[in-house]
């Protein structure tokens, strides 16, 4: 337990993205979201280097992630694998959408893939088909993400300090 808490404290200080916006680039808000929802099983859409993935791995029983690691993010896949190697509670799917995964149950779907409104909207729709208890995501501050959330789910139940958002279904 002590090692887990030490690692979570280290993650709080680590940037999710080397060039990210300072107020949204740290996982303090995500850890508050996890404490709020208390999910056991998580589907994370978009993982990049795996900072948020590791937070889920440390706090949840099982995490499935889906990411394509294509284009400008192709080089980050090796770093992601290195970061997540110690964890046995992870399933990795290389793809672009939760529509690409077999039907299964998740307590929480966390949307942090593409940030344009059409992609965020499509990811939310695909998550709803999985019937999770919660749909959440990152970057609510971005207009496309906020528009997709409101258009499909209405107002979020809560917005966290890192601009993560959550809606109970």
Q: Which parts of the chain have pLDDT scores under 70? A: none
Question: CA torsion sign, 86 to 87 to 91 to 96?
Answer: negative
The confidence score (pLDDT) of residue 1 equals 79
The confidence score (pLDDT) of residue 75 equals 92
The confidence score (pLDDT) of residue 46 equals 94
Cβ-based neighbours of 3, under 8 Å, separated by 6 or more: none
* Separation between Cα atoms, residue 1 and residue 116, nearest integer Å: 38
The confidence score (pLDDT) of residue 21 equals 73
Distance of CA 137 to the CA centre of its chain: 6
DSSP 58-87: HHSSEEEEEE---GGGTTHHHHHHHHHTT-
* Separation between Cα atoms, residue 58 and residue 98, nearest integer Å: 22
| Residue-wise burial string across 110-128, b where 16 or more C-beta atoms lie within 10 A, e elsewhere | bbbbbbebebbbbbbebbe
Burial class for 65, CB neighbours closer than 10 Å (0-12, 13-18, 19+)? buried
The confidence score (pLDDT) of residue 85 equals 97
pTM given for the model: 0.93
The confidence score (pLDDT) of residue 2 equals 86
The confidence score (pLDDT) of residue 168 equals 98
* Separation between Cα atoms, residue 156 and residue 81, nearest integer Å: 32
Domains and their CATH numbers in the chain: 2-168 (3.40.50.150)
The confidence score (pLDDT) of residue 84 equals 98
């Amino acid at each position: 337990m002590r090692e887990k808490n030490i690692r979570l404290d280290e993650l709080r200080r680590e940037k999710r993205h080397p060039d990210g916006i300072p107020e949204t680039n740290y996982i303090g808000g995500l850890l508050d979201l996890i404490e709020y929802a208390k999910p056991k099983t998580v589907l994370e859409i978009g993982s990049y280097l795996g900072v948020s993935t590791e937070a889920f791995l440390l706090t949840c029983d099982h995490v499935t992630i889906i990411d394509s690691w294509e284009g400008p993010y192709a080089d980050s896949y090796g770093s992601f694998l290195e970061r997540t190697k110690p964890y046995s509670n992870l399933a990795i799917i290389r793809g672009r959408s939760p529509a690409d995964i077999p039907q299964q149950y998740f307590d929480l779907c966390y949307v942090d893939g593409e940030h344009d409104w059409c992609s965020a909207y499509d990811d939310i729709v695909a998550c709803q088909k999985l019937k999770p208890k919660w749909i959440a995501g990152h970057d609510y501050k971005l207009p496309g993400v906020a528009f997709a959330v409101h258009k499909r789910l209405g107002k979020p139940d809560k917005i966290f300090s890192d601009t993560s958002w959550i809606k109970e279904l």
